[in-house]
Structure 1
Amino acid sequence: MLKDHAKIIHAIAASEEIIGRKKLQKMVYIAKKMTFPFQERFQFHFYGPYSEELTLRVEELCNMGFLDEWKEKKGGYYQYRYTLTDNGKEFLSLNPVSMPNIQEIMSDMNNQNARFLELVSTILYFDNLPKEEVIEKVFTLKSKQRYTEEEIDQAYQYIANLKEKAVKTDC
């Protein structure tokens, strides 16, 4: 059970700090789709793939003192920041996780905005469909986001780049 917690701690440690619950969800989902061994199940939700299990694990990690969660008011909403605590670092040193190259991939994703990661994760959620159907789903399910065809092309290119980095980890 704690192995799955350690994987999440490792991913957050690799990112140094993740700002936003939605962003954390998307980053873990995308990493999972890049074959990193996350066990959380995801379902399609308002903002794309979402995992109740991930939400609960992060909450448990905060309660155990392994993660710090800061809540700050940003305009009309609250934004959450996640970082590893010293206890979390110690836990990770006692429960090492082998996820080669996750730091490069998590850092890369952490440099993207949550809106773009929402698009990338949505495309990956429907990756069993032909590209034309995926694009149609994005325009239908994500109409409020007003993604452009150029952004969708950028997301597909980004996915290809991440997959290339992930393949390097398997060597």
Structure 2
Amino acid sequence: MLKDHAKIIHAISVSGEVIGRKKLQKMIYIAKKMEFPFQERFQFHFYGPYSEELTLRVEELCNMGFLDEVKEKKGGYYQYRYTLTESGQEFLGENSVEMPCLGDCLIDINDQNARFLELVSTVLYFDNLPEAEVREKIQTVKKSQKYTDEEIDEAYAYIASLKTKSRQLLA
């Protein structure tokens, strides 16, 4: 049980800070699709792939004092910042996680904005379909986001670069 918690702590640790619950969900999902061993199950939800398990683990980690969650008012909504606490660092020191190169991948993903990560994770969620069908799905299930063909092209290029990077790093 705590092994999966340690992986989440490790992910936030190597990312430095994650701003936004949605972004954290997308980061873990994309890393999982890049074959990093995250166990959380994801289903398609309003903002793309979502894991209730991940939400519960993060909540537990905050309650245990391993993660710090800061709620900030941003305009008309709240945004959450996640960082590792000193207790979280100690826990990670006692429960080592073997995921070499995860940091390189997550730092890159964390540099992207949440809207783009929503698109990337949606493309990855439907990666068993031909590209034309994926594009059609995006225009249907993400209609309100109004993604352009250029943005979808960028998402595919970004996924290809992440796959190349993760293969090189994991080789």
Is the structural similarity TM-score above 0.5?
yes
Matching of residues 92-171 of structure 1 within 5 Å: 92-171=92-171
Q: Structure 2 length as normaliser, TM-score?
A: 0.99
Query: Does residue 85 of structure 1 match 2:96?
Result: no
Q: Secondary structure at the match of 2:103?
A: helix
Q: Shift of the alpha carbon at 1:26?
A: 0.3
Which residue matches 2:9? Answer: 9
Query: Does residue 39 of structure 1 match 2:39?
Result: yes
Matched residue count: 171
Please give the alpha-carbon distance, in whole angstroms, between the structure 1 residues aligned to 2:36 and 2:93: 19
Contiguous gaps of at least 5 residues in structure 1: none
Which residue matches 1:24? Answer: 24
Q: Secondary structure at the match of 1:39?
A: coil
- Give runs of ≥4 in structure 1 deviating > 3 Å: none
Please give the alpha-carbon distance, in whole angstroms, between the structure 2 residues aligned to 1:137 and 1:153: 14
What's the CA shift string for 1:21-78, capped at 9, x where partnerless?
0000000000000000000000000000000000000000000000000000000000
Q: Structure 1 length as normaliser, TM-score?
A: 0.99
Q: Secondary structure at the match of 2:35?
A: coil
Please give the alpha-carbon distance, in whole angstroms, between the structure 2 residues aligned to 1:85 and 1:168: 31
Q: Secondary structure at the match of 1:96?
A: coil
Q: Which amino acid aligns with 2:118?
A: E
Q: Shift of the alpha carbon at 1:149?
A: 0.3
Q: Secondary structure at the match of 1:35?
A: coil
Which residue matches 1:51? Answer: 51
Please give the alpha-carbon distance, in whole angstroms, between the structure 1 residues aligned to 2:166 and 2:8: 17
Identity over the aligned pairs, expressed in percent?
A: 74
Q: Secondary structure at the match of 2:9?
A: helix
Q: Which amino acid aligns with 2:161?
A: N
Please give the alpha-carbon distance, in whole angstroms, between the structure 1 residues aligned to 2:103 and 2:164: 15
